[in-house]
Copies of this chain bind each other. A is one copy, B any other.
């Protein structure tokens, strides 16, 4: 009750009706009367509509009143679970407060993460998905969603140009995974099984010496996959990319030979289509040739850049993708689909099932009255699996191939505008590299650093501290959000990502101005 009183003042915008007196027991199915359920759901939608409207006012804050400390949030919310229930009014009041305090990753000036934006089609997909509360593991409990996933994954493989050309490989297989890191885990697992099918049964035994060769700019989930799968991170050999973030086929081959000389058997090569920081595309076609020469599984992590396949203007960035063994591609990044929606695509039709199948009789009964190959659960590393396909399918249907092509092209155009605008702001802004894709990586150089010799170690030490300080200030103000990091020999720099269609050129200018404003006195 005290919680009610405390919150009522700040959350007076909710259509309260009589929700104050009602609890979950007034909702269906605890009662058959739909009245409260209706009021409650409409109030939720009204709240969301206000949130989305407010967020799309471009000058509104990304974080209202800025990021606070845990202690402050703990004062604002009663996270503890009590014996007693709270009213439906209090439930909505808590939701309202969450929307008030949240980091608005759908805000046009949130350019901090690869996935961003709020997509109404995705939201509708998630509302339907949650209402159905289905489970992907068997055809019998989710027939339409399973067929939809099969169809969309086949379409994505078609985007990769995987067809029946080679007799040994069919059109492949795939699965939706809870994020790109898990997609990459699938890749290493599939490659391990392909090279050493006996490990599933007997474990990693002496004499195998498996090793992986990857680009140093590969996502860290590949290394972690090596840890999880019993390969060991020490047996992941990294190849240095060039200044633009791309590894060369020559260097990959050298590293493979080096591993072989050490007595290792390289079963996996990992490269990237759209690296996390630079957005660089490794030369797939060239590396395919090396991998075929040594008969090594080639995985391309296109979690970020895979969507470049969607536009005829950017497709060339993935030239050679039709010949790789597996591919990670996250619709929840460049396709505006809400978290989580990540795919793992594999050009070998049976490996995923063979690697993971456990034949659990209670779930995958062999005597079912339908074709049991429709039960996809046994090829995953999950058991129960959330329906991630509906929001993707709806989003794709709503846009068509053309809509996504346009989306990617527009984002590239904005990235280019960002780049050009920054270039005009020298010497206060300086690019780290010319953007190979949508990622725009740059330093802000405050006046205090302008006259220092850049070759002195002091320069880099001081520059290294600039981005974190600016970030701290923007988080405290809540005005915008952009990520920063060190990479290789480069001191901390900003990485701007625009994947939200809401972000305009005016936003870009405003954000560049904001960084200057926040940093010029440092």
Contacts and interface: CB of A to CB of B under 8 A. Distances in A.
Contacts of A129: 126
A385 interface: yes
Contact of A381 (B30, B133, B140, B228): B228
Interface in A295-333: 332
A66 B217 CA distance: 51
A131 B44 CA distance: 11
Interface stretch (A362-370, A450-458, A511-519): A362-370
A343 interface: no
Interface in A22-40: 23-24, 27-30, 32, 34, 37-38, 40
B358 A223 contact: yes
Interface stretch (A5-13, A99-107, A252-260): A99-107
A263 B90 CA distance: 59
Contact of A367 (B123, B232, B374, B468): B468
A229 B228 contact: yes
Interface in A92-113: 92, 94-95, 98-99, 101-106, 108, 112-113
Contact of A133 (B38, B220, B338): B338
A83 B501 CA distance: 20
A487 B362 CA distance: 8
Interface in A379-412: 381-387, 390, 393-394, 396-403
A171 to B, nearest CB: 15
A401 B34 contact: no
Interface string A474-506: 010000010111110000100100001110000
Given A142-B103, A399-B85, A45 B53 contact: no
Contacts of A79: 147-148, 151-152, 393
Nearest to A37: B120
A14 interface: no
B485 A365 contact: yes
Given A67-B140, A204-B204, A45 B42 contact: yes
A128 B99 contact: yes
B277 A362 contact: yes
A44 B370 contact: no
Interface stretch (A194-202, A284-292, A425-433): A194-202
A132 B84 CA distance: 28
Interface residues of A, number: 173
Contact of A123 (B41, B88, B139, B219): B41
Interface in A337-369: 338-340, 342, 355-356, 358-363, 365, 367-369
A234 B381 contact: no
A394 B95 contact: yes
Interface string A67-95: 11110011001011111111010111011
Interface stretch (A181-189, A242-250, A416-424): A181-189
Contact of A475 (B51, B132, B369): B369
Given A118-B133, A130-B122, A85 B400 contact: yes
Nearest to A146: B70
Given A144-B101, A394-B94, A127 B362 contact: no
A45 B45 contact: yes
A374 to B, nearest CB: 7
A117 interface: yes
Given A41-B120, A402-B83, A135 B115 contact: yes
B202 A401 contact: no
Contacts of A127: 44-45, 48, 123, 126-127, 130
B108 A472 contact: no
A434 interface: no
A445 interface: no
A141 interface: yes
24 contacts: A40-B120, A42-B45, A45-B45, A48-B131, A73-B147, A80-B151, A90-B397, A91-B121, A92-B124, A101-B144, A105-B134, A106-B131, A106-B133, A112-B140, A118-B132, A118-B133, A178-B340, A179-B382, A200-B233, A206-B207, A220-B358, A362-B487, A369-B471, A369-B475
